[in-house]
Amino acid sequence: MQSGLVFNIQKYSLHDGPGIRTTVFLKGCPLCCDWCHNPEGISPEREIVVAETRCAVCGHCREACPFSDSIGGTGVLPARNEPCDYCSKCVEACPTGARQMVGREMTVAEVTAEILKDRVFYEESGGGATFSGGEPLLQSAFVIELLEACHANGIRTAVDTCGFGRSESLLAMARLADLFLYDIKFMDDARHREHCGVTNSLILENLQALARVHSNIWIRVPVIPNVNDDGDNLSAIAGFTATLPGIRQVNLLPYHKTGLTKHARLGHEYDLADVRPPSAEKMEQAAGLFRTTGLNVRIGGH
């Protein structure tokens, strides 16, 4: 049985596909988008985070660490402590919950058991399980077994992907998943490299291959003011998407700042601190660009 690194299992999710869903967030992503609202999912390794606002600076984490003698000092142990063997003793010793471990190794059976706990909600709402991240394609063998387990238990599934991964893995998932949530941020490769860290050519090629074999794909476009919300970019995405079979709808996702605090806890730079969420009028304008191509467009994630 496969196991994988999971950083969150979100119950009662309403934004990751139809109905009430359980969303499994997998650790590791090949992109590093400037606006990422799940930055704790980027690294494929476990990480420790410290919420400074909850830290009592009691030093219990430092005392609990098996490397405390070599580290020395007093007070709060840095989140990125060196050396560290991820034993969790500092997390267990923290009296305020300020110190947390991000990423837990789980088996397919453990994740499936969590998903099955909410079966009744899926049946009543038309929901199911969504595998997100991070990037599910980075843990494809694990995700494929999870999809098989859900299928065997009659649970409908969705895969939320950035599309940057092996096309063989994506197409293997396509044989099992009921729905794909597929992100497009830029059509211009240089802009994609600048803001997401990698080329978009593999993402677009994979989407074309997926659309040939799967008939239930939702395209998700984050709308980030002064980053990718210009008419040229949105029209280019709309034009490309409209040529593909299998696209059921386009979701335009307004930028929000929920990632800001998480980036700070991880010690990341956050270049978009001054960017405000787009207005309702701006979102309607963006939706209008997509509707001119005949696409079914929604503002928001469902």
Q: Nearest distance from residue 257's CB to ligand SF4, in Å? A: 24
Q: What is the per-residue binding string for ligand SF4 in 184-223, x denoting contact by CB under 6 A?
A: ----------------------------------------
Q: Considering CB under 6 A, how many residues would be counted as binding ligand SF4?
A: 27
Per CB under 6 A, does 98 bind ligand SF4?
yes
Q: Which is nearer to ligand SF4, 47 or 118 (CB)?
A: 47
Name the segment binding ligand SF4 (CB under 6 A); options: 92-100, 131-139, 246-254, 290-298. Answer: 92-100
Distance CA 134, CA 143 (A): 12
Please pick, from the candidates 32, 58, 244, 275, the single residue that binds ligand SF4 as defined by CB under 6 A: 58
Under the criterion CB under 6 A, does residue 99 sit at the interface with ligand SF4?
A: yes
Question: Does residue 59 bind ligand SF4 (CB under 6 A)?
Answer: yes
Reduce the secondary structure of the chain to three states and give it as a string: CCEEEEEEEEEEECCCCCCCEEEEEECCCCCCCCCCCCHHHCCCCCEEEECHHHCCCCCHHHHHCCCHHHHCCCCCCCCCCCCCCCCCHHHHHCCCCCEEEECEEEEHHHHHHHHHCCHHHHHHHCCEEEEEECCHHHHHHHHHHHHHHHHHCCCCEEEEECCCCCHHHHHHHHCCCCEEEEECCCCCHHHHHHHHCCCCHHHHHHHHHHHHHCCCEEEEEEECCCCCCCHHHHHHHHHHHHCCCCEEEEEEEECCCCHHHHHHHHCCCCCCCCCCCCCHHHHHHHHHHHHCCCCCEEECCC
Residue list 68-87, contact with ligand SF4 (CB under 6 A): 76-77, 81, 84-87
57 binds ligand SF4 (CB under 6 A): yes
Task: Check residue 90 for interaction with ligand SF4 (CB under 6 A).
Answer: yes
CB of 98 to ligand SF4, least distance (A): 4
9 near ligand SF4 (CB under 6 A):
no
**What is the smallest separation between the CB atom of 179 and ligand SF4, expressed in angstroms?**
37
The encoded tokens of residue 45 equal 């390794």
Asked if 89 is part of the footprint of ligand SF4 (rule: CB under 6 A), the reply reads yes
Contact letters for ligand SF4, residues 34-53 (x by CB under 6 A): ----------------x---
- Tokens at 77, concatenated: 């142990």
The least CB distance from residue 87 to ligand SF4, in Å, is 4
Which spans of this chain sit near ligand SF4 (rule: CB under 6 A)? 50, 55-61, 64-67, 76-77, 81, 84-90, 93-94, 96, 98-99
